[in-house]
Amino acid sequence: MSGQRPLLNLGPISPTPPPSYAAAHDDEEDEKDAPPKRWYHYLPLCATVIMLLAPHPSMLYVLVNYHLRILHAPHRFLLHLCITYALTFLAFSSLIAILIRDPGPVNVEKREQSAQSEDMNVLQALLTSDDEDIHTPGKWCRKCWAPKPERAHHCSHCRRCILKMDHHCAWLGYKCLGHRTYTSFLHFLLCITLLALYISVLCSSVVYFAFTNPLSIDETTPVHAMMLAFAGFMILIVIGPFVAYHAYLVSTNQTTLEHLSPFLLLRQLPKLPEAPAGQHRLSDPPLEHELSYSQRRLIREAHGHIRQYDIGWKKNWAQVLGWDRPYGWIYRIVIGGVGKGDGRNFPRNPRADDMLARLAADLVDLDKDR
């Protein structure tokens, strides 16, 4: 009987994926582990730092020549100098916080004891994990082989799950932006936008002065001012809409992944209404590839109305920026910080459950007509 396979093998075996309904989104599909960070992954970060530092020599040249030598206004010179370098310092402080801070560890103990966890077989993982997390859609990661908290996603580049993952950014050290770094990211974008706007307006006034008083200024200063004004205007065109987009996401309490992935709603659907056998062919919860065109269109339309974590724009901003006191947002805008909460549990929109229940019923009704 040595040629027969045993009914149960308790030895170490390769991890097998949990039930198929856990693959409701692309971040849970089978894919190879991404390679570790290489030197070329940091080239976009170097470009970001260079773009922040490159305008300053020309900016100093304009400030000295225009405000000190032409206008003879040292107080105005010091004011513009302090504002320019204060915004630059705040931008670099946020950038450093993004680089050195973990975006959102899902399981700290697992990371600290990675050697023991690698030797854990599937049977031990099932015995030590919460059964509800394993069998609940969207709460089990097939790559980390561990429970996945609410709003967490697996990043194929970082090769782990990130709490409240927003997106993976190549320009900021090839890192993810999550619960612990998203506030610093907003602070970084705001400082860059304000700095570009300030430099653009200031240098535009110098260019205007050069055209109206051509004999009172040298030939080089207007060239530097024109280049700085153009560079600041271009940065405003590129970064400005990005800032407005993230302001909208914060106001509605969404992440970039949640806003761009309407089929994430499938994970949150309640149990589908009961129907006679054969009347609908959907899994519970439904999978994206099972949906018809009309059902997909219904999901996309519902995605614009069902905001599960929208608790009002004031509370949304307070949650993301992490303030508790009145006018605490001023303190956070100045120095940045971390969002409120542990990144695992979030207050929900009280109307979201009813809207999801109606969406589930509508999906079943459309499936009967196929």
Q: How many Å apart are CA 283 and CA 364, to the nearest integer?
A: 11
Q: What SS3 string covers the chain?
A: CCCCCCCCCCCCCCCCCCCHHHCCCHHHCCCCCCCCCCHHHHHHHHHHHHHHHCHHHHHHHHHHHHHHHHCCCHHHHHHHHHHHHHHHHHHHHHHHHHHHCCCCECCHHHHHCHHHHHCCCHHHHHHHCCHHHHCCCCCEECCCCEECCCCCEEECCCCEEECCCCEEECCCCCEEECCCCHHHHHHHHHHHHHHHHHHHHHHHHHHHHHHHCCCCCCCHHHHHHHHHHHHHHHHHHHHHHHHHHHHHHHHCCCCHHHHHCHHHHHHHCCCCCCCCCCCCCCCCCCCHHHCCHHHHHHHHHHHCCCCCCCCCHHHHHHHHHCCCCCCHHHHHHHHCCCCCCCCCCCCCCCCHHHHHHHHHHHHHHHHHCC
- Do the beta carbons of residue 190 and residue 243 sit within 8 Å? yes
pLDDT-derived band at 114 (thresholds 50, 70, 90) equals: very low
In a domain, 148, yes or no: no
Whole-number pLDDT of residue 280: 62
Whole-number pLDDT of residue 287: 84
pLDDT of 9 strictly over 80: no
Comparison of pLDDT for 121 and 329, the residue scoring more: 329
Nearest in space to 187 (alpha carbons), one of 99, 90, 317, 255: 90
Average pLDDT over residues 329-354: 83
pLDDT of 140 strictly over 90: no
Average pLDDT over residues 9-19: 44
- How many domains is the chain built from? 1
pLDDT of 370 strictly over 50: yes
pLDDT tens-place string over residues 305-332: 999 999 999 999 999 988 877 777 777 7
In a domain, 301, yes or no: yes
Q: Give the domain extent around 356.
A: 258-368
In a domain, 324, yes or no: yes
Whole-number pLDDT of residue 288: 87
Average pLDDT over residues 80-106: 93
Whole-number pLDDT of residue 369: 65
Comparison of pLDDT for 127 and 172, the residue scoring more: 172
Whole-number pLDDT of residue 321: 87
pLDDT of 58 strictly over 80: yes
Whole-number pLDDT of residue 24: 38
In a domain, 350, yes or no: yes
- Do the beta carbons of residue 317 and residue 250 sit within 8 Å? yes
Average pLDDT over residues 345-357: 91
pTM assigned to the model = 0.81
Whole-number pLDDT of residue 11: 45
pLDDT of 284 strictly over 80: no
pLDDT-derived band at 269 (thresholds 50, 70, 90) equals: confident
In a domain, 212, yes or no: no
pLDDT tens-place string over residues 210-262: 999 988 899 899 999 999 999 999 999 999 999 999 999 999 999 999 999 99
pLDDT of 178 strictly over 80: yes
In a domain, 273, yes or no: yes
In a domain, 308, yes or no: yes
In a domain, 102, yes or no: no
